[in-house]
């Protein structure tokens, strides 16, 4: 199990999905789907489309002009190590619409089931925050379900400050954290 200083030795990167990741992506998604859990970020779900079409959709969603009007433009990245193994994924929304301000936030992320509890989520969020800074986002909203203790710890480890909790219609409680890029 990797922790703290071990992650500093292991080089981790955020990379744009490409055709070279196709087989690793399929492997990651089959692993995730077998658990029957919700897949985060939602952008990486397969939704019965071919991988190349999925890549085209990701590309279209990067720009306001080509992103569907009901969505916020976003960038999606894979977290990989030096062996180019897919460890997880993160989506960064460039701006917040009303729904994202309430519940979704700027960043959605997830680590594949076999790679959890190794510190990868904390590092991936740190790398995503660097991308947010490069995009000029000064205050980053990150949310998680209240019962997702691992995600809350990940956000807190990246200087997240809990603003409030919102109870959804189904009774689920979502915590809303802000991360100031001045603190980074």
Residue 1 has pLDDT above 80, yes or no: no
Q: What is the pLDDT of residue 184?
A: 47
How long, in residues, is the chain?
A: 184
Opening angle at CA 48, ends 143 and 91, nearest 5 = 25
Model confidence pLDDT, tens digit, residues 39-66: 999 999 988 789 999 999 999 999 999 9
Residue 65's φ and ψ, nearest 5 degrees, are -65, -25
Q: What is the pLDDT of residue 9?
A: 59
Q: What is the pLDDT of residue 182?
A: 73
Q: What is the pLDDT of residue 7?
A: 53
Token output for 110: 């997830």
Q: Is the pTM of this model over 0.75?
A: yes
Indicate the pLDDT class of residue 8, thresholds 50, 70 and 90: low
143 contacts 175 by C-beta, under 8 angstroms: yes
140 strand-pairing partners = 179
Mean pLDDT, the chain, integer: 93
Residue 5 has pLDDT above 70, yes or no: no
5-183: which CATH topology? Answer: Aminopeptidase (3.40.630)
Helices 22-35 and 51-60, packing angle to 10 deg: 90
Sorted by sequence, the CB contacts under 8 Å of residue 46 that are 6+ apart come out as: 29, 33, 54
Model confidence pLDDT, tens digit, residues 94-144: 999 999 999 999 999 999 999 999 999 999 999 999 999 999 999 999 999
Indicate the pLDDT class of residue 6, thresholds 50, 70 and 90: low
Give percent above pLDDT 70 in the chain: 94
């Amino acid at each position: 199990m990797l922790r703290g200083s071990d992650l500093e030795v292991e080089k981790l990167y955020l990379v744009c999905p490409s055709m070279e990741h196709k087989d690793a992506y399929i492997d990651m998604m089959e692993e995730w789907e077998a658990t029957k859990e919700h897949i985060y970020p939602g952008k990486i779900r397969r939704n019965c489309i071919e991988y190349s079409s999925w890549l085209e959709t990701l590309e279209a969603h990067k720009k306001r002009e080509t992103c569907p009007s009901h969505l916020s433009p976003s960038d999606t990245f894979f977290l990989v190590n030096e062996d180019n193994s897919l460890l997880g994924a993160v989506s960064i929304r460039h701006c917040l619409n009303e729904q994202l301000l309430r519940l979704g936030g700027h960043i959605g992320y997830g680590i594949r089931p076999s790679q959890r509890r190794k510190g990868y989520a904390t590092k991936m969020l740190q790398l995503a925050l660097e991308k947010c800074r490069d995009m000029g986002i000064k205050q980053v909203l990150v949310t998680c379900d209240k019962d997702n203790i691992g995600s809350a710890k990940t956000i807190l480890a990246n200087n997240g400050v809990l603003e409030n909790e919102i109870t959804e219609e189904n009774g689920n409680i979502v915590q809303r954290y802000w991360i100031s890029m001045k603190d980074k």
